[in-house]
Amino acid sequence: MKRIVFFALGLVICMRTGLAQEAIHAAASAPEARLLVVRARWLIDGISDKPRRNVQIVIRGGRIVDVIPANSPALPEEAQVIDLGDATLLPGLIDCHTHIFLQGEDPAAGGYDAQLLKFPASYRVVRAVVAARRALEQGFTSIRDVETEGAGYGDVGVKQAINEGIIPGPRMWVSTVSISSTGGYPLEGYAPEITVPKGSQLIDGPVEARKAAREQLDKGADWIKVYMTHRSWVDAQGALVSQPTLTLEELKAIVDETHGWGRKVACHAYNGLGLQRALDGGCDSIEHGLEISDAQIAQMLRQGTWYVPTLQVYYTDWDPADTDSGKRDRKRVAVHGVSFGKALHAGVKIAFGTDVGGFKWSEPIAEEFSREVQFGMTPMQAIQSATSRAAELLGKRGEIGVVAAGAYADLIAVARDPLADVNALKSVEFVMKDGVVYKSSTGERAP
């Protein structure tokens, strides 16, 4: 496709007469919100198997009211038309595993520890605000942010500021502090006499587990994030081993409490016993799932458990090959792609997640798409994992992750065809959320 031309900021205002369809008529009769029309050569709507050609999206009051052919004869007089030329329109993307309070874990920059030990809380919030804007500018109009890594309830305030229009950012589902067990989360390697901050709320026993869930839910967690495994290593037989953290009874108390609030539990689980407890305890989504056995895949299918694999992050920050941690880093990716392929072909529900924050926000979030394709998804399946499937995970089917009447007007556009090369999604050139244009240039804005 040739270079696209955006008219988003200097809107081309098309004066039309008459009404194309009943839906437009209904929308036009609501004078409190202007009528917008976004037009492009191609539409990937998030659900359909094939793209549609020459469409226009009719928007009123932040919602899509209709999707009609571009040659529909008439639009209401006041319609403002954003013509994206040869571009491909898609629903706003959804990343189901982010950390806006993390800024990469590059050892040369102090890694994870420096962020908890040296960054003032105010600085962490400022960086999180920038990260949220980065997500939006890269086309991610919704994120599930799965814990603040020692930054307390900071995500609740960032979400509020976005929802009130004070700062730009995606729709957020937040999980606040997260839950693990004593000895089940960094920081590590400090003198035992020193108390260092924790990246998670550490509990022991089902009573403390339920109390932690109650506290976090009460203070604004939309999801509860639980760590079911922690350290991992390669054993003498060359197998990946992960230390389990919470007991089954502890997890069941958390899941029972959280489900009672009508909310859900995301479980960080690499493999082995911890992953098995995550499934037996009723986790709603398995995060990472580096190595999932056939029996565990069958259990995920039976229980309807989601899989949020986060493939790309495990290709970053490897230790040297001849070290124990370096061997672990390489073993992780060796088993991860295999598990992903098996789960995909078995029909496990897979939602797009990246763990961005675990790698720098200056890296393209959309790199994950090419890993999904590498391990077996079609480009369309990869796109749907970050649109309609992710919306289903979040309980927002039909409202986000789809371009259809009734959905929020969250739209993005790319110049190249993402079905020919999913890397086209790394260059999002137009972003609209709630019917408001946040980006319409051809270049990335620096954070």
Binding part of the chain for Zn ion, among 114-122, 289-297, 349-357, 404-412 by CB under 5 A, reads 349-357
- Site string (39-78) toward Zn ion, x via CB under 5 A: ----------------------------------------
Cα–Cα distance between 251 and 307 in angstroms, integer? 18
Using CB under 5 A as the binding rule, whether residue 355 contacts Zn ion is answered as yes
Cα–Cα distance between 352 and 380 in angstroms, integer? 13
CB of 358 to Zn ion, least distance (A): 6
CB of 223 to Zn ion, least distance (A): 12
Residue labelled with tokens 């729709």: 171
In this complex, which beta carbon is closest to Zn ion, that of residue 355 or of residue 372? 355
Binding part of the chain for Zn ion, among 26-34, 192-200, 351-359, 423-431 by CB under 5 A, reads 351-359
Binding part of the chain for Zn ion, among 72-80, 151-159, 257-265, 348-356 by CB under 5 A, reads 348-356
CB of 433 to Zn ion, least distance (A): 24
Dihedral, CA of residue 93, residue 97, residue 98 and residue 104, to nearest 10: -120
In this complex, which beta carbon is closest to Zn ion, that of residue 144 or of residue 433? 144
Cα–Cα distance between 447 and 444 in angstroms, integer? 9
CB of 355 to Zn ion, least distance (A): 4
In this complex, which beta carbon is closest to Zn ion, that of residue 45 or of residue 355? 355
Closest-by-Cβ residue to Zn ion is 355
In this complex, which beta carbon is closest to Zn ion, that of residue 35 or of residue 102? 102
- 171-174, strands of its sheet edge to edge: 93-98, 140-145, 171-174
In this complex, which beta carbon is closest to Zn ion, that of residue 291 or of residue 355? 355
CB of 195 to Zn ion, least distance (A): 24
CB of 62 to Zn ion, least distance (A): 30
- Site string (222-251) toward Zn ion, x via CB under 5 A: ------------------------------
Using CB under 5 A as the binding rule, whether residue 95 contacts Zn ion is answered as no
What are the structure tokens assigned to 238, written together?
């060359």
Name the phi and psi angles at 397, rounded to 5: -55, 135
Q: What pairing do the DSSP bridges indicate for beta strands 264-269 and 285-288?
A: parallel
CB of 99 to Zn ion, least distance (A): 6
3-state secondary structure 240-262: EEEEECCCHHHHHHHHHHHHHCC
- List the alpha helices (DSSP H) in 138-165: 154-163
What are the structure tokens assigned to 35, written together?
């009528």
Tally of CB atoms within 10 A around 168: 18
Give the SS3 label for residue 157: helix
* Binding footprint of Zn ion on the chain (CB under 5 A): 355
